[in-house]
Amino acid sequence: MTETMWAAQLTSPRRPLELMRVPVPRPGAGELLVKIEASGICHTDLHVQEAIDFPAGSPRPLTLGHEGIGRVVAQGPGAGRFPVGSRVGVPWLHDSCDHCRQCLTGWESFCASHRAHGYSVNGAFAEFVIVKERFAAPIPDALDSASAAPLMCAGVTAFGAVQRAEIGPGKTCVVFGCGGLGQYAIQLAKLHGASVIAVDALPGKLAVAKALGADEALLADAATAARIRSMGGADACINFAPTAKVWPIMTEAINPFGWIISVAMVAEPVPLVLEWLTYNGVRITGASVGTRQQLDDLLQLASKHDLKIEIERIRLPDINKAFARLSRGEVAGRFVIDFAAAA
């Protein structure tokens, strides 16, 4: 096996990634060395690149990427669940403490000391990456690597939010923001039996939402909430739009005891009237990336149902061009690095 590999690394905050030739890592106890076939690009990668400093405790330089799919090429001591040649996913979670309340009660993605690929440890924007075997995800044969890559973060995040929303037949779920995560959420909410209303500021994304099964598609404006209320109101509002402007639409549209779930990273504060919360019993929460079990469940679901999302394949050397387009909102679905094309 080769001794060195190509990796796209952050060498300095707020600088373009650099394509570097670096040593191939060696798996330690309980670890796997995975040769990457495809790696999705997530908005979180952009957040890491644009931050004023490296994440606390991360290696410097840092290889980004947490939506990797590849094949096991070497096992560290004690690793035996995935034989060499197995295809596995490299998700956000690299590991967690396994003993805090969150880990022990099925909320490991909220573990305060969890480590993440492309954030706390080197990630999947490289030809090879190390993954903890107990956090590697088995990839069903029915899924090709490029299509499966965004499921490692975008897909499982949307899946966790839809599950949190407690939707089903007879319920109405409103999905705000119809980019990659919203597109997954529309399809997953339909698979859960709910009626789906898609809301976005761009007509083109609403057309995609309708094609993916949304029952209604509404342009975000001053009349949106009233239109949702005229359809019976929302039993769940899931926000993937990176703006606080959707908050008044959600609070007006939501039904009593409904869920408002925030997924997009929105830093601006929003107003909340406690009297309103008291008399309608609305539940408000956030949703982060999913757990190992949720990822396994999603992969099985995706292998049986054709979860469509627009994939634009790129080469590893073109990663900074993709980052620039992502920052300008010029991607309909998700970018995926195709390592066969990059070779």
Decide if pLDDT at 343 tops 70: no
For residue 342, the model assigns a pLDDT of: 47
For residue 288, the model assigns a pLDDT of: 85
Give pLDDT tens digits for 65-74.
Answer: 999 999 999 9
Would the CA dihedral through 25, 85, 64, 301 be positive or negative? Answer: negative
The mean pLDDT value for 194-220 works out to 96
Decide if pLDDT at 1 tops 80: no
Domains in the chain, please, with CATH?
A: 4-153+290-342 (3.90.180.10), 156-286 (3.40.50.720)
For residue 316, the model assigns a pLDDT of: 97
3-state helix, strand and coil shares in percent for the chain, rounded to the nearest 5: 30, 30, 40
Distances (CA, A) of 201 to 26, 142, 278: 47, 35, 31
Give pLDDT tens digits for 223-236.
Answer: 999 999 999 999 99
Give pLDDT tens digits for 267-300.
Answer: 899 999 999 999 999 999 999 888 999 999 999 9
Give pLDDT tens digits for 43-57.
Answer: 999 999 999 999 999
Q: Is 33 exposed, middle or buried, given 0-12, 13-18 or 19+ CB atoms closer than 10 A?
A: buried
